[in-house]
Structure 1
């Protein structure tokens, strides 16, 4: 860009060359004094609006139906809005039907249209009710923001109907509603306005890790996340192992397949992502022929299914990939001794003749002594068949279009942590030593701790992934991306070891123990939490930590609120395998313009029962904090950004008036 002013003129008018370049770019968007003034007025008014409602979820673990329902009912907020309007004028049964209609409009309409005798009257009544719910859901946002949330096909109609009715406009409103019915668009309008209400009640969604593994539909969860209007993700250890697998890291690919087999979810890989597991099945049937692989029967397999062909094959594949994973992991551990993971090298500690293993000076008997693919003289060496299989799987993961699309979303929307509106969000922990100081970790020859450690891990993962087709460029990055899944100082994992081998091959509970990082003891301490908040640039007096990763044992009396209200652990067991431990089915932390609310959810029965029987997730809401005055946009991070925009626009106005920047339009 060529500037018309010399440096003396710029200095005299108090503008640097860089600022003038920026102001000239800004002038392209606001080419007149009037347009700049209008935008300043608009932004100033937005600062005084109530802040949008944030929802925090964690540890989804592929439980798509539950996740989807929580988004549809906005963690109980849809029903709250219905009750606000109709608690005293509609029966509970009618309110239940209205709520279900908003959650599942297409499916519920299909049932109602078959059952309702006077459909025209039902449409007229229901449209008015939905408009009222939409009105109270939209009341704290600007008309501009509400318009942007509207479905395009009905934006004008909804915009008109959301205006407060009065006697003069009553006939006008009635006419609009009747016209919608007369032109046979009531069905489509109900679907559109229901989804509009859902969107309004979750202004921003925070997902604090572990989207993948255990449950069957992580791919559908990722599809929903990709479509969401405002979402961020803090990576969990179960996310990073999939991210590393998509990067082509063979040990991580083996881990992903092993976990899928462990929870009998190989369909997610084969059907959802199109990963070809036939080579693994063929290899496993041949290598483990005659081996019952009892320790590798998938979790929660009903006793009557244990002998089925499907379970037998899955068990063999499970064992085969577990052994391959240990061999591939050993390559990384040997290549990167600074990781300090030599204790995970166990195949050379086995006495293959006796069927025992030496761990911590103790000789322990293995419960499975069949290792047909291991050479006792060189136990970490891959067989030729294993090498070929690992390469085929690497190719399948690296060039799976749908998987790569989902992983790119994890990178574009995600990070190791996030500081947002005075809340620090991370999945696992901030590594601490036993004294409570930030633990110093050596990464690629440099020392990092606290925030710098999380930032460096974030950078390492991005470099590894975006150079995935040239692995030779980022070998060490790839190793540390794998390390995040199970390394002792990984902020996503938070344990001193992952006792995978011990859980499969040994019955000794002592060696199966996975001791946690000191963070998990110290997070109950207010001073420790305040120290972490300061490290990330947040004020401990007004800020909080929001965590996932470790399920809260509610049934044993454990509280999700810790450190005198400084820290919230919101893993309540959305994943069904954890619900026996927690006694509930997940939490949502809700942060609106008045308060912080923790919603505790009961187990979700099924989408079918929700639609046909109008069975909702029962959510118990507990107020954690209440603001003395309503929190406005100006009090948030978005408010800080808006003030910067206002400052720049005022600077542009000044430059226009001084003639330093030319007005672009007359």
Structure 2
């Protein structure tokens, strides 16, 4: 084996970690053993849109994975009611124990049976991991005792007394509830090795902040930014138009909980403006969409919310004009519509030359001679809202997390993950998009967008590139060539003010036209360095309308769509409550979920989400770690360690005993 001088320097550094041949050989054996374990389970979710209760439940039950393992262990041995109770206990241990105690269902015998069952489930979910990895996942206070229980066979007469004695001592010392909780949380943790969030945690539902808090503590995850995430990221770095959009959407869906309760955004200035300016305006077009929300509002609150909704919408149109005027390269002049209003006749002439009557003609803050100028009070509201967004500690922590864990796309274990699109031309070639002074297409476009988004966060505000990047974050939300939007226009004004639904149409980009073609998907995969039969694109963004017969698997199996209506706002059109994807050592499993009632219902009535596997793509052979991206990293480490072993044995590097 020839070792260059440069390699020898690197091996010298490596020898600090493995100081002798025995240490290097031991690590080689350890890594080679890991390479032959089954790959860990990956969990894919997209378009959560603030639905924190459903999200947390799907996270806890691992899209039905835990239920499947419990059934495989105990089906035919325990009744359905007991099986449901065990699953609910695993998902919600503290709450379930409290409920069972209140109904006098807990006894020493119950503890023994339940502990034995949980140990079996823990053994099953941990079987594909090394003991070292399992040990690190265990709560420190119970690590030793859990290892003893999971590695002993209670069916062995010689060991059953030993195991029984351990369980008796746990119960006698009053630690059973705490130990059960620890076991259940460890089962949840080991059921999923890596979580992928393919965009859009924010907007619509009431708990984006709750979801982000949960993600902050998750053991292993990545995040592909969605357009709604980008909206909040833009607001957090000071983009006033993005901020106005985020507030408008929150008010549209009666979601003040995220703004005020979640992030401490002071909405009083906007409320004061709305009451003063729109106090006599019913704001019919701006009444919030309540759906089946659990939160109830009185009539006065709903009226005020509608007035605030209209106030921020008008502010938004004015702020967007500022960016459009400042960035002619965006070619979004057709979104400037306030100057096209005929205030005397109550009509508007759109860029296509068609004139339409307006549903609402009350524009007290719009000066016909200078329609895009903010009034003094509007400008003050914008300044105070921006201050709230930029000085919310919780929002800052969540946005920093999105930058740390997030990206525009990810290639991982033969899959390409991105939220919305890779812009294409009519001839199916990659569309060139201008960012700054250059044009980018395909993977280069996604890389440059990723870089530009980070510039908005990290560069000093007084730098010209910072302002350009901050403006571009709004473009990513609604720009025609944005990989996160990719539609002809966002017709927000038309939806509020024009009855003719033809004006509401948003023409989708060519990616959405051609992504059903296998050849196109394969070309996109190849652009990102992925080839072969086991490669896939995984998308969210556009809900799959299962109720209309749409299918989440397209392009000959090359494209998997996992936005099926997690958000309650979409469920009437999708007919379901979302798709999630599980990728384990046996293959890919696309899972369809029915609507989730509530956490309370799940605990009190042991009501799990009804989930159905709609697609199963089995691997020819069980997928091992060596076939994954992490396996490639481990193989490289083995190769380097073998060089270090050679260097020790040939005296090129001295061993330390």
Taking structure 2 as the reference length, what is the TM-score of the superposition?
0.97
Q: Which residue of 2 aligns with 1:366?
A: 358
Residues 316 and 627 (structure 1), Cα distance of their counterparts in 2 relative to 1, 3 Å cut = same
SS at match of 1:437: coil
Q: Deviations over 1:342-387 (max 9, x none)?
A: 1111111111111111111011111111111111111111112222
Matched, 1:308 2:296: no
SS at match of 2:251: helix
What is the CA distance between 1:300 and its match in structure 2? 2.7
Matches within 5 A, 1:568-607: 568-607=560-599
Unaligned stretches of 5+ in structure 1? Answer: 1-11
Matched, 1:612 2:614: no
Contact in 1 for aligned 2:207/2:257 (Cα 8 Å): no
Matched, 1:263 2:253: yes
Matched, 1:393 2:382: no
Q: Which residue of 1 aligns with 2:445?
A: 453
What is the CA distance between 1:394 and its match in structure 2? 1.3
Contact in 2 for aligned 1:305/1:311 (Cα 8 Å): no
SS at match of 2:373: coil
Q: Which residue of 2 aligns with 1:638?
A: 630
Taking structure 1 as the reference length, what is the TM-score of the superposition?
0.96
Residues 260 and 51 (structure 1), Cα distance of their counterparts in 2 relative to 1, 3 Å cut = same
Residues 306 and 404 (structure 1), Cα distance of their counterparts in 2 relative to 1, 3 Å cut = closer
Contact in 2 for aligned 1:248/1:468 (Cα 8 Å): no
- For residues 182 and 382 of structure 1, the distance between their equivalents in structure 2, rounded to whole angstroms, comes to 70
Among 342, 359, 367, the alignment partner of 1:351 is 342
Matches within 5 A, 1:177-196: 177-196=167-186
Contact in 2 for aligned 1:247/1:468 (Cα 8 Å): no
Q: Deviations over 1:279-324 (max 9, x none)?
A: 1111111122211111111113699989711111111111111111
Q: Which residue of 1 aligns with 2:51?
A: 63
- For residues 570 and 361 of structure 2, the distance between their equivalents in structure 1, rounded to whole angstroms, comes to 30
Contact in 2 for aligned 1:251/1:329 (Cα 8 Å): yes
SS at match of 1:96: helix
Q: Which residue of 2 aligns with 1:9?
A: none
Matches within 5 A, 1:142-291: 142-165=130-153, 166-291=156-281
What is the CA distance between 1:659 and its match in structure 2? 3.6
- For residues 65 and 59 of structure 1, the distance between their equivalents in structure 2, rounded to whole angstroms, comes to 14
- For residues 393 and 467 of structure 2, the distance between their equivalents in structure 1, rounded to whole angstroms, comes to 24
Contact in 2 for aligned 1:534/1:540 (Cα 8 Å): no
- For residues 477 and 662 of structure 1, the distance between their equivalents in structure 2, rounded to whole angstroms, comes to 52
SS at match of 1:211: coil
Contact in 1 for aligned 2:582/2:589 (Cα 8 Å): yes
Matches within 5 A, 1:471-510: 472-510=464-502
Q: Deviations over 1:545-585 (max 9, x none)?
A: 01101111101111111001110111111100111111111
Matches within 5 A, 1:535-554: 535-554=527-546
| Count of aligned positions | 653
Q: Deviations over 1:66-117 (max 9, x none)?
A: 0000111111111111111110110101101111110100000001122236
- For residues 618 and 81 of structure 1, the distance between their equivalents in structure 2, rounded to whole angstroms, comes to 16
Among 277, 293, 299, the alignment partner of 2:289 is 299
Contact in 1 for aligned 2:455/2:465 (Cα 8 Å): no
SS at match of 1:642: helix
SS at match of 1:559: coil
Question: Which has the larger displacement, 450-459 or 540-549?
Answer: 540-549
- For residues 658 and 295 of structure 1, the distance between their equivalents in structure 2, rounded to whole angstroms, comes to 81
- For residues 328 and 27 of structure 1, the distance between their equivalents in structure 2, rounded to whole angstroms, comes to 59
Matched, 1:425 2:413: no
Question: Which has the larger displacement, 302-311 or 403-412?
Answer: 302-311
Unaligned stretches of 5+ in structure 2? Answer: none
Contact in 2 for aligned 1:297/1:306 (Cα 8 Å): no
What is the CA distance between 1:469 and its match in structure 2? 4.8
- For residues 483 and 322 of structure 1, the distance between their equivalents in structure 2, rounded to whole angstroms, comes to 17
SS at match of 1:169: helix
Q: Which residue of 2 aligns with 1:85?
A: 73
- For residues 627 and 14 of structure 1, the distance between their equivalents in structure 2, rounded to whole angstroms, comes to 39
Residues 339 and 119 (structure 1), Cα distance of their counterparts in 2 relative to 1, 3 Å cut = same
- For residues 170 and 311 of structure 2, the distance between their equivalents in structure 1, rounded to whole angstroms, comes to 61
